[in-house]
Amino acid sequence: MEEVCFNTSLHMKEQLQDAYGFIFEDQLIEEIGNVGTYKSFKKDDVIIEIGDYLKSMPLLISGAIKVLREDKDGDELVLYFLERGDTCAMTLTCCIGNTQSEIRAIAESDTELLMIPVQKMEEWTAKYTSWRHFVFESYQNRLSEMLDTLDTIAFMKMDERVMRYLRDKAKINQNETLKITHQQVAYDMHTSRVVISRILKKLEIEEKIKLHRNSIEVIDL
């Protein structure tokens, strides 16, 4: 992981403007650039671990993040994905409440973040209407995505859930060919590799996907 002072990089300031300039006013963008800490992660790096205490919230400059929950047996379930221009409402709650993280965040692709100190989060909520709206909308979006995940588990058949997962993953990576194994899909879907392999073969027969060695091509986007 790379970590540098954000205001040393003109390139990163330009990326901040591109990702958030349409949301925040220029004065807030300038403040973010002055106080933020830049971090970069490689694909599959753990960004936030369950049990971590967080003192800053991430603004996603580039890449994508997968957010998961873990049960008492260590099995994981994907809650949602984050992409450029997003933040994670779960980290906001942990920062402000000084509580331990209940989620694991993993870099879905090479990812660049700007970390905002907790004291600035509170200050900007009072100072900038755009920041306040951004935070509230982030809470709403993440809540909607988690409810959607619950609906998927409760009401969708497993093959529908797998197809939805593959579509979401292809869209977030902007690539219809996913470098992923059957076992990795099983981990994310909280089921067994045998079940996933059977479902993937069924989806291939239905011409919705094409299976390759250690990759899956999503045809039905």
Domains annotated for the chain, with CATH where assigned, are 2-153 (2.60.120.10), 156-218 (1.10.10.10)
Structure-block tokens of residue 191: 């089921």
The pLDDT score that the predictor gives to residue 4 is 47
Tell me the whole-structure pTM to 2 decimals: 0.73
Distance of CA 130 to the CA centre of its chain: 22
Burial of 191 (0-12, 13-18, 19+ CB in 10 A): middle
> What distance in Å separates the CA atoms of residue 119 and residue 190, rounded to the nearest whole number?
37
pLDDT at 71: 78
Tokens 């909607």 belong to which residue?
A: 144
Ordered strands of the 64-70 beta sheet: 46-48, 104-107, 64-70, 76-83
Residue with the two structure tokens 């330009």: 14
Burial classification of residue 211, based on how many CB atoms lie within 10 Å of its CB (0-12 exposed, 13-18 middle, 19 or more buried): middle
Query: Residue 9: its pLDDT value, please?
Result: 60
- Pairwise CA distance, residues 35 & 134, whole Å: 18
Show the low-confidence residues of the chain (pLDDT under 50).
Answer: 3-8
Residue type, 195: V
pLDDT given for residue 203 in this prediction = 92
Helix (H, G, I), strand (E, B) or coil at 72: coil
